[in-house]
Structure 1
Amino acid sequence: MKSLLIILFFLISSQSFGQWTYEKWVTEAKTNIRLRPKYGLVEKTKEQKEVDQEFIASTMNNEKLHGDRTLASNQMIELGFQYLYKGDLKTAMYRFNQAYLLDSANADVFWGYGAIYMTLSNQEKAREQYEEGLKLNAENTRLLTDYGTYFFVKYFEGDHSKDKNGKDNLDRAIEILLSSYRIDTKNQNTLYKLSVCYLNKKDCENARKFYNLCKDEGGQPIAEEFTTELNKNCP
């Protein structure tokens, strides 16, 4: 069942990311700081700083933003995810870094950075980004839900080690997803992932509960195959 559930859990885009491996990404990032989160905090050249200021000024000239740099940053993050879903990781990272330029305190920037590393199958780098973002905003549900996803992936990959409180990675995934759910009870992504986690835990009552809650909100993430799997294992 696990092989099916991991596919359903991520709802991976049909687009191919095959041109990128983490190793290739790191190699290119050595000469392209735009591929590093926060530009690698590298001291930029005078020309690079001028380009940044021109970008900020041009962006903030948009009257619809009303001078709100966080709103402008959020728009860049949205664009970044659009490129990510199309399989264009490089442009996605460019947009996430531009979002950082506009508002370095926007926790959602780290949601974007984490998504890049998850796509590159480097879960530990993704975790670092999620944790940095959560330091800025501990109640950011997008970060919390994807942070919970990190622990589910660890569990799926066979890491059943336990923390000092005796919780394994599946338990931690559920704990973090539940904390996200308590903040936003209508997030379909969170509800669906909770259902998947509970099905992995063979907790049919909660798997059904969060499945139905997700359906009530529209059920957009739910794949037909998951419904079949749930019905088979939790009749």
Structure 2
Amino acid sequence: MTTKLFTIGFLALFSLFYTQNCPEKINILPMYGEVTKCKEQLESDKEFLAEMDRFFPKRRDAMQDRIKSGWKYFYENDFETSMKRFNQAWLLNPESYEIYWGFGNIIAIKGKPKDALKYFDMAKKLNPTNSDFYVSTALAYSQIFLEEKNSKLLNSAIKDLEKGLKLNPKNGKLYSMLSTSYFYLNNIKEAKKYLVEAEKLDSSSINKEYKRILDSK
């Protein structure tokens, strides 16, 4: 009886030790939660990389495959699987801007726009000429504004959007976001001005309900 209790206690202690040293569900966190992985997780990574090396001539090719899969699941609203694929891409080669863009978009959708800004900034550093990143950061600032009602956040969004326009003055999404930012600031004149520009360049970037509300002002 004593031996049996000792065995149960030992197994419970081992289970606790294992849990403490193998953080769970890190594959649904950006960059695996930036935690120290346990031996078993490191072995799993090694096996995954070896498998990718068998199927692809270069790890960059394998990374692109995982990124493609990540976006596929993202647009299917399967954000957990999407995050797992972006993490695998990061493990293969952490130098692609799309990985961090994916991280940021998923985190923002899950209601953590402040955390998302970090990953959008990382994407910008790797690809500073992509104007769509400024749409993403402006959306994150707008999300935070809706929670905190701090107009400084909208001014930050506007600055980012203006930077994006310098990179690509024909990006309709930037004008659309500028319109909504000024709308939240109760600057209806500027909001209407930028909505007109957005319509000229990309009518699909405009929310029909928002346009109806703005037209009524």
TM-score by length of 2: 0.75
Q: Residue type matched to 2:162 in 1? A: L
Structure 2 residue 169 is the aligned partner of structure 1 residue 185: yes
- Show CA shifts across 1:37-68 (max 9, x none): 2223444423421212322542x34xxxxx69
Distance 1:47 1:78 in 2: 22
C-alpha distance in structure 2 between counterparts of 1:181 and 1:78, whole Å: 27
- Aligned residue in 1 for 2:19: none
Matched, 1:33 2:26: yes
Residue 155, structure 1, aligned to residue 145, structure 2: yes
Q: For residues 128-168 of structure 1, give each alpha carbon's deviation from its aligned partner in whole angstroms, at most 9, with x where no partner exists.
A: 2223333434444233221122222222223427xxxxxx1
Q: 1:229 aligns with which of 194, 213, 217?
A: 213
Aligned residues: 192
Identity fraction in percent: 25
Matching residue of 2:11: none
Structure 1 residues 158 and 47, CA gap change in structure 2 (3 angstroms): closer
Contact 1:148 1:176 (C-alpha < 8 Å) held by counterparts = yes
Contact 1:110 1:132 in 2 (8 A): yes
CA contact (8 A) 1:107 1:137 kept: yes
Q: Deviations over 1:88-145 (max 9, x none)?
A: 1111101211332343111221111111111111122212222333343444423322
Where does residue 22 of structure 1 map in the other structure? none
Q: Deviations over 1:8-55 (max 9, x none)?
A: xxxxxxxxxxxxxxxxxxxxx941332122223444423421212322
Equivalent residue, structure 2, for 1:174: 158
> CA contact under 8 A between 2:26 and 2:32: conserved in structure 1?
yes
Q: Aligned to 2:94, which of 82, 104, 109?
A: 104
CA RMSD for the aligned pairs? Answer: 2.6
Gaps of 5+ in 2: 1-21
For residue 50 of structure 1, what is the aligned residue in structure 2? Answer: 47
Aligned CA distance change for structure 1 residues 74 and 223 (closer, same or farther; 3 Å): farther
Q: Shift in Å at residue 74 of structure 1?
A: 4.9
Q: Which has the higher helix share?
A: 2
* Contact 1:89 1:116 (C-alpha < 8 Å) held by counterparts: yes
CA distance in 1, matches of 2:111, 2:85: 20
Q: Distance in 1 between matches of 2:172 and 2:187?
A: 19
- Aligned equivalents of 1:68, 1:192: Cα separation in 2: 38
Residue 212 of structure 1 deviates from its aligned partner by 2.3
| 8 Å Cα contact 2:49/2:92 also seen in 1 | no
The reply on whether 1:126 has 2:147 as its aligned counterpart is no
**Code of the aligned partner of 1:204:** I
- The separation in 2 between residues aligned to 1:56 and 1:202, in whole angstroms, is 55
Instruction: Please tell me whether the aligned partners of residues 76 and 99 of structure 1 are also in contact (alpha carbons under 8 angstroms).
Output: yes
